[in-house]
Amino acid sequence: MIAIRDAFGAALAELGEKNKDIVVLDADVASSSKSILFGEKFPDRFFNVGIAEANMFAMAAGMATKGKIPFANGFAAFVIRRATDPITSLIAYQKLNVKICSTYAGMSACYDGASHHALDDIAFMRAVPNMTVIAPADPAETRIAVEAIAEFQGPVYLRLSRAPSPNVFDSSYKKFEIGKGVKVLDGNDVSIIASGYMVYKSLKAAELLKKQGINARVVNMHTIKPLDKDIVLECARQTKAIITVEEHNICGGLGSAVAELLAQNDVSAKMRIIGINDVFTESGDYEDLLDKYGLSAQNIYDTVLKLV
């Protein structure tokens, strides 16, 4: 297993070789975000601004107006809680080409507790006009997501975990396209739509369901905004039941996005949202926390059985 942050750092360093317009800013967490790998190779294009997230994004906005492609890195919890003003009023309002890279998303800063857990970031970023929101499923997808957002014009929020991640895809995976979900397992009884590490958990749940004669479709919704309308509506119409799974508050995240889409298109399907049930989370071992808050393959399995 490779940590998604390690895959991100390696991809960023490789990208620096190909594109001289890329600059990297970090809020004094370069060793944790792994942006240090870029900094070691390209010190003249790397800026450690200190523990000053709001200032970092204001600097990134200025660099973007001069044709640079800033990748600005920080812990997800502090990006959201300390830098919403420049992200909204400078970057998003002007559609500046800044890549907001948030590591330690979800509960992956496990032992640091609620102050460092980022479970509201998707909700905020979804509500910001002009913002694209991406949460890769594994290291392989993280690498190609970094390349894709570098080519994409406009602000992007890239949500990255600290934790080691099992592989969903192998190194030859090249299917990533912003705004297009990926069907990683087919099935006609229920659709499980997941993002981030929860894609792997959903695949494990699908294995358990198969033993009960239930064929689950698993969709990797790596782009949460813009949501892939076509694949969601296809799932609803073909399986008639949808479960969303995310390492995020159930308010305002992937589940909310899917529910909003179904409501706006008058499509009827049974649906459940699996996520953090609007509580502050505790400190502890990462896998233990996922189990405690219902983000386990077993809970996905149990929820499907109740639904279908």
Q: What digits encode the pLDDT tens for the residues 272-299?
A: 999 999 999 999 999 999 999 999 999 9
Is the confidence at residue 164, as pLDDT, over 90?
A: no
Q: What is the DSSP letter of 75?
A: E
**Residue whose structure tokens are 């601004």:** 49
- Residues 240-251 have a mean pLDDT of 98
Q: Which residue has the higher pLDDT, 232 or 268?
A: 232
- Residues 78-84 have a mean pLDDT of 95
**Residue whose structure tokens are 């060793």:** 31
For residues 55 and 79, what is the distance between their CA atoms, to the nearest angstrom?
11
- Residues 102-125 have a mean pLDDT of 96
Is the confidence at residue 234, as pLDDT, over 80?
A: yes
Q: What digits encode the pLDDT tens for the residues 173-183?
A: 888 999 999 99
User: Residue 90: beta bridge partners?
Assistant: none
Band of the pLDDT at 134, cuts 50, 70, 90?
Answer: very high
Domains of the chain: 2-165 (3.40.50.970), 182-307 (3.40.50.920)
Q: Which pairing describes strands 216-220 and 182-185: parallel, antiparallel, or unpaired?
A: antiparallel
Residues 187, 217: contact at Cβ < 8 Å? yes
Element (H or E) spanning 255, and its range? helix 254-264
- Residues 123-131 have a mean pLDDT of 98
Burial of 185 (C-beta count, 10 Å sphere; 0-12/13-18/19+): middle
Q: What single letter denotes the amino acid at residue 170?
A: D
Is the confidence at residue 152, as pLDDT, over 90?
A: yes
Q: Note if the bond before 226 is cis, omega within 30 degrees.
A: yes
Question: What does pLDDT average to over the chain?
Answer: 96
**Residue whose structure tokens are 């219902």:** 294
The whole-number pLDDT of residue 247 equals 98
Band of the pLDDT at 139, cuts 50, 70, 90?
Answer: very high
Q: What digits encode the pLDDT tens for the residues 16-62?
A: 999 999 999 999 999 999 999 999 999 999 999 999 999 999 999 99
Is the confidence at residue 262, as pLDDT, over 80?
A: yes
Read off the pTM: 0.96
Beta strands in 126-240 (DSSP E): 132-134, 156-159, 164-165, 182-185, 190-194, 216-220, 223-225
Provide, rounded to the nearest whole percent, the portion of the chain with pLDDT above 90.
Answer: 94
- Residues 13-17 have a mean pLDDT of 95
Catalytic (active-site) positions: 53
Is the confidence at residue 165, as pLDDT, over 90?
A: no
Which among 88, 185, 66 is positioned nearest to 137, based on CA atoms?
A: 185
Residues 255, 278: contact at Cβ < 8 Å? no
| Alpha-carbon distances of 69 from 18, 60, 210, rounded to whole Å | 13, 8, 45
The whole-number pLDDT of residue 173 equals 83
Note the helical H segments in 36-172.
Answer: 36-41, 53-65, 76-82, 84-85, 121-126, 139-151
Residues 223, 132: contact at Cβ < 8 Å? yes
In the chain, % helix, strand, coil (3-state, to 5) comes to 45, 20, 35
User: Residue 256: beta bridge partners?
Assistant: none
The whole-number pLDDT of residue 3 equals 87
